[in-house]
Amino acid sequence: MKTKKYFGTDGIRGVVGRHPITADFVLKLGWAAGRVLAEESGGSIMIGKDTRNSGYLFESALEAGLASAGVDVLLLGPMPTPAVAYLTQTFSACAGIVVSASHNAYQDNGIKFFTGAGQKLTDNQELAIEQMMQTEMVTVSSEHLGKASRIEDAAGRYVEFCKSCFPAELTLKGLKIAVDGAHGAAYRIAPNVFRELGAEVIEIGTSPNGLNINDGVGATSPGALSALVLETGADLGIALDGDGDRLIMVDHLGEIVDGDELLFVITQYKSGRNELQGGVVGTQMSNLGLQRALEQQNIPFVRAAVGDRHVLAMLENRGWRIGGEGSGHILCLDSASTGDGIVSALHVLTAIVSLELDLNQLKQGMKKFPQELVNVRCSQAPDLQSESILRAVHSAESRLGESGRVLLRPSGTEPVVRVMVEGEERSQVKQLAQEIADAVHRAAPMD
């Protein structure tokens, strides 16, 4: 298969104003996507975005590009990524586009795509769009230009969908929930979902100004939510990221509950009700404690490459329904076609309410192994098979023995190499991760 030039593990992402995240590039990207995706199946294309101030720029550029290709556009405004996937299906659009850089800071932005079935584009579709971008951009005749319209009730439709993922016979009444919207796309929708299901909701990260998305709040910075839970005596906290597809939770003791632990809670509940439909897909980064806990319950567990698209592909290949990552991307395919932070939280809340146990109690069946992740920023990708790096890795693996793992991988969204070491003793894990990171750094100097 040909190598993609622009598309990474989750669309196209980068710093605003630097190629390819520029107005002229996104204009042509919209045109090329319109040509490829609309010609495949016809119909309109939806555009949603998060709360970055650059979203206005790229939303307009995409709209112009799509219209010039003769494709009608449905504008959703600020909307979580999974909402765009859902609404693309319900409106029978041929594709959905999200303007978002997910958990990154406001200086970044990106373009993500969904098919009409609410799933990520295939490699062949992404390659076809890139190939179309190499051709001359030709605008259709005036009578064939696409039109744009705004879906005014999009948020309400998605709120009702989320609520439908929580059993009708249950209620959140009596629960006090702290909700952190990361000043992002779910800042209005998330609190409304939990309130309308009966919970008392305390909000944080729900005042976006275009520049504060993910800034000290949200799934990548759950400390603020932890403090709020303890300060207010909340039963638990729910933290989303900037585009609403990640979920990290906090229990009543203020302890952070990551994606691996949440995946364990959801899996254990479904298994107990004979609703699991197979096993669980994690990734190379999934905590060894998750694997061990599921094995003890005779629940099959396999690892995919990092990235929710790889988890999804393996789930579909095996006919399973549940998978995810420690970062909080959780796939519950019996409810949604892609990772959805709100829907995942509702699955956890279903277990809490149905079993009458708190989050701290539900996570006790899984013992996390200490895991150290070091991001080594590199000016150019190092050779991870170089002698010096391999020597450091092999040394760490021999010292860890059977009770640990080492993983090196280049990020698909940032110019960094991620070094992960996992084992039984935290001090040893931290030391070994730093030794390997130093070896990577020496092989590829920092900027």
Residue 86 inside a domain? The answer is yes
Residue 39 inside a domain? The answer is yes
- Whether 379 shows a pLDDT value over 80: the answer reads no
> From CA 44, how far away is CA 146, in angstroms rounded?
9
Does 412 share its domain with 311?
no
Does 99 share its domain with 184?
no
pLDDT in tens, 402-440: 889 999 988 766 778 999 999 999 999 999 999 999 999
Domain boundary among 151, 183, 209: 151
Residue of 54, 102, 226, 286 marked catalytic: 102
pLDDT in tens, 8-39: 888 999 999 999 999 999 999 999 999 999 88
Give residue 445's pLDDT band: very low, low, confident or very high (50, 70, 90): low
| Averaged pLDDT of the chain | 95
Residue 174 inside a domain? The answer is yes
Does 202 share its domain with 140?
no
Residue 428, domain CATH: 3.30.310.50
pLDDT in tens, 224-238: 999 999 999 999 999
Residue 18 inside a domain? The answer is yes
Does 173 share its domain with 124?
no
Closest CA to 18 of 415, 446, 423: 415
Give residue 63's pLDDT band: very low, low, confident or very high (50, 70, 90): very high
Beta strand pairing call for 247-250 and 256-257: antiparallel
Does 207 share its domain with 348?
yes
Residues 260, 302 contacting (CB under 8 angstroms): no
* DSSP, residue by residue, 195-253: HHTT-EEEEES----SS-TTSS-STT-THHHHHHHHHHT-SEEEEE-TTS-BEEEE-TT
Report the share of the chain in percent with pLDDT over 70. Answer: 99
Does 323 share its domain with 227?
yes
- DSSP letter assigned to residue 368: P
Q: Could you tell me the pTM of the whole model?
A: 0.92
Domain hosting 93: range is: 12-151
> From CA 280, how far away is CA 33, in angstroms rounded?
33
Active site residue 102: yes
In 134-170, where does DSSP find H-type helix? 154-164
70: alpha, beta or left? (left if phi > 0; alpha if psi -120 to 50)? left
Residue 1 inside a domain? The answer is no
Domain boundary among 121, 151, 181: 151
- Provide the pLDDT for residue 401: 87
- DSSP letter assigned to residue 403: G
Does 395 share its domain with 419?
yes
Q: What is the mean pLDDT of residues 235-245?
A: 98
Looking at the 3D structure of the chain, how many domains does it have? Answer: 3
Residue 187 inside a domain? The answer is yes
| Amino acid, res. 247 | L
Residue 5 inside a domain? The answer is no
Residue 263 inside a domain? The answer is yes
Domain boundary among 151, 172, 190: 151
Q: What is the mean pLDDT of residues 187-203?
A: 98
Does 347 share its domain with 376?
no
Residue 48, domain CATH: 3.40.120.10
Does 144 share its domain with 173?
no
Does 358 share its domain with 414?
no
201: alpha, beta or left? (left if phi > 0; alpha if psi -120 to 50)? beta
Q: Which range is least confidently modeled, 115-124, 199-208, 232-241, 343-352?
A: 115-124
H/E stretch holding 421 reads strand 416-422
Does 46 share its domain with 142?
yes
- DSSP letter assigned to residue 8: B
User: Helix (H) and strand (E) counts for the chain?
Assistant: 15, 18
Phi then psi dihedrals of residue 324, to 5 deg: 170, -175
Does 105 share its domain with 192?
no
